Amino acid sequence: MKDIYQTFEFNIVKNILEKYTKGEIALRRIRELEMFSSKEELTNELRYLKEMISYTLKYRSLDIYPHKDISITLLSLEKEGIGNIEFFYQVSNLLDNVDQIKEESSKDDNYPLIMKKIEDLIFIPSLKNQIDRVITKDLQISDNASSSLRDIRRSLRNEEQGQSKIISSLMNKYKDILNSEKFTMRDSSYVLPVKSSYKNSVSGLVIDESDSGLTAFIEPSEILESNNKILRLKEKEQEEIKRILKELSLLCAKYVNEIKLDLDIISYLDFLLAKANYAIDLKCEVATLTDERIILLKNARHPLIDQNKVVSNSFFLDKQKIMLISGPNAGGKTVCLKVIGLLIIMNQCGLALPVEEASLCFFDNVFVDMGDNQSLQDNLSTFSGHVKNLKEILEKVTSSSIVIFDELGTGTSPLEGEALGVGVISYINALGCFGIFTSHYEGLKTFALENDFILNASMAFDEERIEPTYHLRLGVAGKSYGLELSQRMGVKEEVLSISKNYLEEKKKSDKEVTLALLNQKLEENEAIKMGLVKKEKEIENKNLLLEKEINKYKKMNNQIFLDSEKEKEKLIEKAKEEIDSIVNEYKNNSSNKLHEVIGVKKKLDDLISEEDEEEEETKNINVNDFVRIIDSDIAGKVVRIKGDNLSLVTEQGMNLNVKSNQVEKYKKSPTKKVRSTSLFKTNKVVKLECNLIGLRVEEALSELDKYIDDALVAHYKEVRIIHGSGTGRLRSAVHDYLNKRKEIKSYRLGGLGEGGVGATVVYFK
């Protein structure tokens, strides 16, 4: 029997998931991914996944670094082994990632599982600092790793630099017997290009000759002596490096358990984040794992089909645990089986599903018989292959399994195939497990209609265009449309005519007529249902458009309000300047008479006061009337009257309760703007963002506290706090403060164009 992962192409899903991983261990976990054998383990894994998806959508992906698997070296350290430079670099990288995640992750009690994993990470600064002191970023041992190494390398550099001086001196000394004015290098050593006839005139070792034999390349004895010194120094260097790595290994061995824990947690978060990002990209949902024996997959999509072209279908089995899918060839029956099978496997491997909603029970096994099982090696026919699979499945299946058969009973005579299908379906039903089957056999369709424990389903078919739609219809048996497709493909009309007459004769029995009528009614009901679904979709689209327009209007209204506030501020400033001018004019002119003083006062009154609204005094105040509190600038609309008590809503959105004798009614002019009033009078313009960069935490929190109060008085719905990314201390302090303010509805890190992680967007209640 074929491997179910191969049959349902789960390995391709894993290949896609691999691209989301960062480290070697997470990659291996994806490649080894199989169905959980325990419901408890699966439930726990799905909880982790659901949290990670939600956390990533609310904040952003955890910053996981690429990691190599250093487990084997960690084991060797416990047995006094020595780590190499690459190993220590990976340890430093791991600790750096631990520090990054603990520092940058958003503390949120809504994600207890993820928060616990992050809290369990252990940062070891002493070890990281020591490794970083010894290992450079280009994977070399630093000169400062030890004083001895620094001295050795200084001597090496001096000796190597001295060689260039020696060779230059020798070139000048032997210039008359050289074949070139430039020295050359052979095997990383300086050599003199001496004329062959004079090679005995130079003390040294002949290490090469030119092809012509006219030049001898001699390594001078002075250079030989220097090279020997360099060789000894390099040996000392390697001995010192080995000692340093040994010392570093002993230090690292003290923290092996902590490093193993960090590696395990980071690798699991990497693995979990890969599954979460895959789910987000494919718009997947985590299924609800239920104790009820149920399969609910709403608008399920095949994850390997282009998501812009794939047709979604819904599947629901509860009391009816058997589904029989019929319909034309190439109509999508097999794809439906693959969707159900693949999504069940994905769920039991702890993955989210490409559905709108899903509820699934736990399955102890998934059995499948799909495709042509003919085997030349075993000399089995197609039918024999199916029967062999059937035998193995029926021996292993339990009430907690699901059985998926494509073309049940195919490969033998229709009558015997139908009979075998009836037997299999009846046995599966008696056992109490789920079964999904496809078939063309009319006998099985009739059997399904006569037994209410079977759910009939079919693939919809466009009869006018003679082509499949790939939509699954529940409760309706489907036609095969074999003759219609044959006619479209050009089969001779004489043959089709005989076939149609034969088919009509077969349909004359009462049972067939009843079946046809019943199917017709079911199809009519299905058509009505599809029409309602279409209308519902249209209404949903209209609602989305309406919501967009409302949001657009709200943004426009908010912008108009902000613009008017800016304009008002300009007018106030201008008025102040004119007031100062008038006052100064009066003060500087001591000859002003009484009538001139009165004129100045009138000018001041004209500048400070806006045009009063035309007042209409009346004793009768009704709901929706505009009133103003006597001897004040506070005005609003009456929303409720109870005896002498009135409830007002001001233009700034404040709710006030006053007595009827404390207000006066006025006629609100449609062409004049009522002066904005507030219980807290201020000329201060509150910005939509607060910049805390450069401030100490205490100063920043004090500034933030004042700003939040001002924003609340200004009735802002949202503001932005700029705190920068930096070490993350200021951002954490800001978030802790926001968590304590009851007026805060929610907050999130800035998105694209909003400052990213360097800013927080705050929403007020």
CA distances from 72 to 27, 83, 316 (A): 17, 10, 48
Residues 501 and 393 both lie in one domain: yes
Residue 609 has pLDDT above 70, yes or no: no
**pLDDT > 90? residue 315:** yes
Check whether residue 266 and residue 332 sit in a common domain.
no
Count of alpha carbons within 13 Å of 648, Cβ hemisphere only? Answer: 24
- Domain-embedded: residue 592: no
pLDDT at 488: 59
End-to-end Cα separation, the chain, in angstroms: 60
Instruction: Pick the last residue of a domain from 196, 217, 232.
Output: 232
Residue 217 lies in a domain: yes
Task: For residues 428 and 469, state if they share a domain.
Answer: yes
Considering only CA atoms, which of 56, 124, 130 is closest in space to residue 96?
124
In a domain, 198, yes or no: yes
pLDDT in tens, 466-524: 566 778 888 766 455 455 555 555 666 766 576 556 556 655 554 555 566 566 666 66
pLDDT value for 687:
82
- Are 436 and 402 within 8 A, CB to CB? yes
CA distance 464 to 479: 14
Residue after which a domain boundary falls, among 474, 506, 538? 506
Mean pLDDT of 597-620: 49
Highest mean pLDDT among 15-19, 498-502, 656-660, 705-709: 15-19
What lies within 8 Å, CB to CB, of 501 at 6+ separation is: none
Q: Which of 339-348, 575-584, 597-606, 724-733 has the lowest mean pLDDT?
A: 597-606
> Do residues 677 and 650 make contact, with C-beta atoms less than 8 angstroms apart?
yes
pLDDT at residue 502, rounded to an integer? 58
Q: Are residues 217 and 364 in the same domain?
A: no
Residue 600: pLDDT band (50, 70, 90) is low
List the CATH number of the domain containing 31.
Answer: 1.10.1420
Q: Residue 732 belongs to a domain with what CATH number?
A: 3.30.1370.110
Q: Does position 611 have pLDDT exceeding 50, yes or no? A: no
* pLDDT attached to residue 650: 74
| Domain presence at residue 603 | no
Instruction: Express each pLDDT in 71-103 by its tens digit.
Output: 999 999 999 999 999 999 999 999 999 999 999
| pLDDT computed for residue 375 by the predictor | 40
Which of 103-112, 141-150, 510-519 is modeled with the greatest confidence? 141-150
| Residue 295 covered by a domain | no
Q: Are residues 635 and 494 in the same domain?
A: no
DSSP secondary structure string for all residues of 16-48: HHHTT--SHHHHHHHHT----S-HHHHHHHHHH
Given strand 759-764, what is the order of strands in its sheet?
A: 689-691, 718-722, 759-764, 744-749
Euclidean distance between CA atoms 17 and 275, whole angstroms: 7
Q: Are residues 211 and 91 in the same domain?
A: no
From 506, 525, 559, give the residue that closes a domain.
Answer: 506
Residues 441 and 329 in one domain: yes
Same domain, 200 and 343: no
Please indicate, yes or no, whether residues 174 and 219 belong to a single structural domain of this protein.
yes
Q: What is the pLDDT of residues 435-451, one digit of tens each?
A: 999 887 888 888 888 88
What's the CA gap between 445 and 443, in Å, rounded? 5
Task: Indicate whether 155 pLDDT > 70.
Answer: yes
Q: Angle at Cα 725 formed by Cα 721 and Cα 727, nearest 5°?
A: 125
Q: Is residue 598 part of a domain?
A: no
In a domain, 331, yes or no: yes
| Domain count along the chain | 5
Confidence of residue 679 (pLDDT cuts 50, 70, 90): very low
- Which structural domain range is residue 219 located in? 160-232
SS3 state at 56: helix
Q: 363 and 493: one domain?
A: yes
- Better pLDDT: 384 or 399: 399
pLDDT tens digits for range 680-694? 444 456 788 899 888
Q: Residues 13, 65: one domain?
A: yes
CATH number at residue 428: 3.40.50.300
DSSP H helical ranges for 609-723: 697-713
Rounded to whole angstroms, the Cα distance separating 266 from 179 reads 64
Mean pLDDT across 184-198? 87
**Contact status, residue 690 vs residue 722, Cβ threshold 8 Å:** yes
The predicted model scores a pTM of: 0.62
The pLDDT assigned to 477 comes to: 61
Q: pLDDT of 34-63, one tens digit each?
A: 999 999 999 999 999 999 999 999 988 899
Q: Would residue 19 count as lying in a domain?
A: yes
CA distance 245 to 470: 65
pLDDT above 50 for 678: no
Residues 328 and 220 in one domain: no
Residue 758 DSSP symbol: G
Rounded Cα distance, 34 and 350, in Å: 9
